[in-house]
């Protein structure tokens, strides 16, 4: 059974552009706010894929009933508020400050670099695959360097026992 998750538009765009989106769709029952939908323009490939998935019934729109989080951009706010309303969900978020705030509020948050590391740790990606994925995410220049650095540390910890004698 898929884990329910809410996501922000930047996570969707980064997952799409880095090649992680099929894994996201396979693992999570994805929910999005109307605000996030408005940020995903069908004039871009990631927006086209978003709307294709909406039409296929693979994504569920839901608005948060209340909005205790007032800072950050509209999409980030709405994704965090949706996750606050459903505390058993995972929040998929790539922006560092909103990520920190979501963690501070006790939410389960996952960023695309850490998802890549999870896939590597589970054997879905090999060492080359995870490093290429992290490189694609870095090349986008939209993923926090802090989140990328944390993912690289995790990859090195996973690799170290394999290379230890």
Per-residue pLDDT of the chain (165 residues; tens, 9 = 90+): 999 999 999 999 999 999 999 999 999 999 999 999 999 999 999 999 999 999 999 999 998 877 776 678 788 888 989 999 999 999 999 988 899 989 998 999 999 999 999 999 999 999 999 999 999 999 999 898 988 999 999 999 998 865 554
**H-helix or E-strand containing 59?**
strand 59-61
Length of the chain (residues): 165
Distance in angstroms (rounded) separating the CA atoms of residues 39 and 73: 11
| Class of domain 3-112 as given by CATH | alpha beta
Q: What is the pTM of this model?
A: 0.91
Which has the closest alpha carbon to 24: 50, 44, 62? 50
Domain ranges of the chain: 3-112, 114-163
pLDDT, tens digit, for every residue of 40-72? 999 999 999 999 999 999 999 998 877 776 678
Distance in angstroms (rounded) separating the CA atoms of residues 109 and 101: 10
Distance in angstroms (rounded) separating the CA atoms of residues 10 and 73: 11
**Residue 5 backbone phi and psi in degrees, to 5:** -150, 150
């Amino acid at each position: 059974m898929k884990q329910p998750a809410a996501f922000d538009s930047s996570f969707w765009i980064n997952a799409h552009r880095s090649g992680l989106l099929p894994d996201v769709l396979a693992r999570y029952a994805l929910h999005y706010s109307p605000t996030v939908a408005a940020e995903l323009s069908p004039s871009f490939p990631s927006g086209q894929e978003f709307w294709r998935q909406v039409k296929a019934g693979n994504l569920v729109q839901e608005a948060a009933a209340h909005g205790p989080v007032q800072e950050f951009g509209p999409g980030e706010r709405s994704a965090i508020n949706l996750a606050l309303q459903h505390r058993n969900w995972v929040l998929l978020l790539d922006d560092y400050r909103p990520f920190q705030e979501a963690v501070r509020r006790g939410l389960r948050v996952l960023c695309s670099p850490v998802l890549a590391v999870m896939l590597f740790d589970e054997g879905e990606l090999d060492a080359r695959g995870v490093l290429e994925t992290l490189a694609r995410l870095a090349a986008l220049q939209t993923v926090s360097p802090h989140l990328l650095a944390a993912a690289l540390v995790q990859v090195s910890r996973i690799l170290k026992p394999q290379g230890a004698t």
